[in-house]
Structure 1
Amino acid sequence: MNFLEKLFGKKSKEKVSVEKNTKKERAKPKVAPERIGELGEYKINIQLDQFPPNYKHLNDLMLENMKTHSGFSQIDHVLLTPYGIFVIETKNYAGEIKGGAQDKQWKVNKKFNMMNPFHQNYGHMEAIKSCLNSDNPYSFVSMISFTQRAVFSISPELRKMTSDELCVYDTELTEFIKRKIQVIKLQSTAPIYKEDEIESIYKSLTNANVTDPAIREGHKQALLSASAKEDKCSICNKPVSRKVKKFCMSNKKFQGKIYCFDHQKNIS
């Protein structure tokens, strides 16, 4: 090999090396497990904020509820409309979701149990009614929103507009709310809530919302303590949060086991 071949051969190798490094630098950074849920909530917020001004949206609402272990209920989203109060619970599971409206437990990937989310949302609606402190009946629509990483094997009625319990994908949440409102309009001669009633409910819930960081952290720790027996790292037995548990359950490479953040890195 002559001098020129050596020279250009070396430069060619250097060029390939630079290109490889550049591709690595341009690679999309991975989203940390604890951020996945937050990004999902942000997408839901954007959707619900697009409704007309006379619709009122509250998110991450924490209300007192003496029937729970922590003494509080934390509600992902509430949308107040003239045709009903939509109470929305968001889930981030991946894989097959199987269950019916009356089942106490639902199955995730035929391996794990999750609490029937509609039973969970019923508690949220009871907390709202208790907070409003009124004898008037309230018209609720309970909605459970999953990301598209989930595959539904649920009771057919949970997808029908005639039901007040609806299971949807996050990308179709707005569409289902609009369609449900159209069905209610056909059944009602007038709106269920007037504009001033919506405003009153909105103010009551806003005033009742617990925003103290210490109380919210206490609520989080109470939930963690209540589920500590089953929500532990499979390696070090360290208790993990519900978000970490959900992430592990939705990740196929963990094969149904729960790992703390430190030990997730060691699972290939």
Structure 2
Amino acid sequence: MRLRRRAPGTASRRRCSDAEHAVLKALRAEMLGRRGEDEVRAAIEQSNLPALHDLMLPRGASHTAQIDHLVATRAGLLVVETKRLSGRIVGHNQDDHWRQVFAGEPEDAPPRRIYSPLRQNAVHCAAVYEAVRDIEADIFVHSRVVMTGVAEIAP
């Protein structure tokens, strides 16, 4: 067997498997998402309004809802869903899923579908109302979706 030495300062590179690539891609998405949530958290903290961040609430018997930001305002509770997306986002407020298209993709590329952030936050708002309705039944729960990435939202 013959061994080859690498030049000093060069790293060996190997191609990662599809499974490793999927894990790295998910980790990158998680890190970018956290960055967007941190940006929104900082803006909320500057408002000096009482707020909770990254809150888990029960949703039914076996599910939970992860709330990015819950802010108490004079007008009621504000439930904020943060999204950090890129590309072009196409969808209607009544659609369950939206499409994400990246520049330079071939025309015949399969569409990427993302769950509508509006629908997602509606579920979060319902979970918040369910949690507080016994305390204050007439409280208003407001939904907001904040996009922090560079995505272009199609009209």
TM-score (norm 1): 0.41
Deviation at 1:80, TM superposition (A): 1.0
The Cα shift of 1:44 comes to: 1.1
* Structure 1 or 2: more strand by fraction: 2
Tell me if 1:109 matches 2:83: no
Q: Which residue of 2 aligns with 1:89?
A: 81
Q: Shift in Å at residue 121 of structure 1?
A: 0.8
Aligned-partner SS, 1:43: helix
Q: What's the RMSD between the two structures over aligned residues? A: 2.0
**Equivalent residue in structure 2 for 1:36, among 28, 32, 39:** 32
- Unaligned runs of 5+ residues in structure 1 are 1-31, 155-268
Aligned partner of residue 49 in structure 1, secondary structure: helix
Q: Spell out, residue by residue over 1:212-256, the C-alpha distance to the aligned partner (whole angstroms, 9 max, x if none).
A: xxxxxxxxxxxxxxxxxxxxxxxxxxxxxxxxxxxxxxxxxxxxx
SS in 1 for 2:85: coil
Query: Structure 2 matches for 1:79-228, cutoff 5 A?
Result: 79-109=71-101, 111-134=111-134, 136-154=137-155
Tell me the alpha carbon deviations over residues 105-138 of structure 1, each in whole angstroms, 9 at most, x when there is no partner: 1111182111111111111111111111426233
Q: Which residue does 2:47 correspond to in 1? A: 51
String of CA shifts for 1:3-24, please: whole Å, max 9, x gaps.
xxxxxxxxxxxxxxxxxxxxxx
Count of matched residue positions in the alignment of Structure 1 and Structure 2: 119
Determine whether 1:63 maps to 2:75. no
The separation in 1 between residues aligned to 2:31 and 2:119, in whole angstroms, is 26
Q: Which protein has greater RCO, CA pairs closer than 8 Å, 6+ apart?
A: 2
Please state if 1:72 is matched with 2:68: no
Deviations 1:136-160 (A, max 9, x none): 2332221111124110114xxxxxx
Counterpart Cα distance in 2 of 1:108 and 1:138: 35
Identity across the alignment (%): 29
For 1:50 and 1:139, how far apart are their aligned partners in 2?
Answer: 23
CA offset at residue 39 of structure 1?
2.0
Provide the rounded CA distance (Å) in 1 between the counterparts of 2:46 and 2:152: 27
Larger radius of gyration: 1
Relative to 1, partners in 2 of residues 1:132 and 1:84: Cα closer, same or farther, differing over 3 Å? closer
Q: Which has the higher helix share?
A: 1
Q: Which 5+ residue runs of structure 2 have no aligned equivalent?
A: 1-26, 103-110
Distance 1:86 1:114, change over 3 A: same
Residues in 1 aligned to 2:96 and 2:35: alpha-carbon distance in whole angstroms: 29
Q: CA, structure 1 residues 80+106, in 2 after alignment: closer, same or farther (shift >3 Å)? A: same
Whole-angstrom distance in 2 between the partners of 1:151 and 1:79: 27
The normalised TM-score by structure 2 is: 0.68
What is the Cα deviation at residue 94 of structure 1? 0.5
